[in-house]
Amino acid sequence: MIIKDIEFVGSFEHEHQCPKDGLPEYAFIGRSNVGKSSLINALSGRKAIAKISSTPGKTQTINYFRVNNAWYLVDLPGYGYAKISKTQRKKWKAMIERYLQIRETLFCVFSLIDSRHDLQAIDLEFLNWLGDARIPFVIGFTKIDKVKKSQQPKNINLLLNSLSEYWDPLPTHFVTSAEENRGTTEILDFIEEINNK
């Protein structure tokens, strides 16, 4: 799939405010600073569709982008160590969980994990929550370009081995780099395949 047209539709704080035209939705989420905005920009072929910040927690709403007038790319707030109050964190958690559980047009969640690090407890907790809630998801390992080439296969295998202790079979996964535009074609082809079913 090639993204010929992408349009920012709006930012929403509640699921019931989101578009109601029935187009399929693909949501992207991960720990703060996982490289979500950079990956979204790489997928879109634009430099600043999603705002990138060195400060974790930039995304604070459910952000909708209509792609090729055929589906929505949904940018969700990150979770983890963003410097926000407990009250705000609780509000975000409720907003994200409500969207993920209620949204009937949500076809798949792309759960992003930083390929530079061991599997984090907070990532595993989120993946298990998705599984328990029966929400379809795949995994995107991000920032692979930040890992030495000789170390890249080892890092991915370690992450997959950690996941295999909890998941059998393993979820579908993509290895990505926004800087090198790696994995973007595979992700877009995956979305196209689902849309064509």
End-to-end distance of the chain based on CA atoms, in angstroms? 15
pTM metric for this prediction: 0.91
Is residue 146 within 8 A of residue 112, CB to CB? The reply is no
| DSSP E strand boundaries for the chain | 6-12, 25-30, 62-67, 71-75, 106-114, 137-142, 173-175
Q: State the pLDDT at residue 61.
A: 85
Per-residue pLDDT of the chain (197 residues; tens, 9 = 90+): 888 999 999 999 888 899 999 999 999 999 888 999 899 999 998 776 665 444 444 567 899 999 999 999 999 988 775 566 777 777 778 888 999 999 999 999 999 999 999 999 999 999 999 999 999 999 999 999 999 999 999 999 999 999 999 999 999 999 999 999 999 999 999 999 999 98
What's the CATH superfamily of 6-195? Answer: P-loop containing nucleotide triphosphate hydrolases (3.40.50.300)
Residue ranges covered by each domain of the chain: 6-195
Strand partners, 174: 140
What does the alpha-carbon distance between residue 189 and residue 173 come to, in Å, rounded to a whole number? 13
Q: State the pLDDT at residue 145.
A: 95
Please, what is the Cα angle at 28 between 11 and 193, to 5 degrees?
A: 115
Q: Count Cβ neighbours within 10 Å for each residue of 41-61 and write b for 16 or more, e otherwise.
A: bbbbeeeebbeeeeebbbbbb
Q: State the pLDDT at residue 51.
A: 56
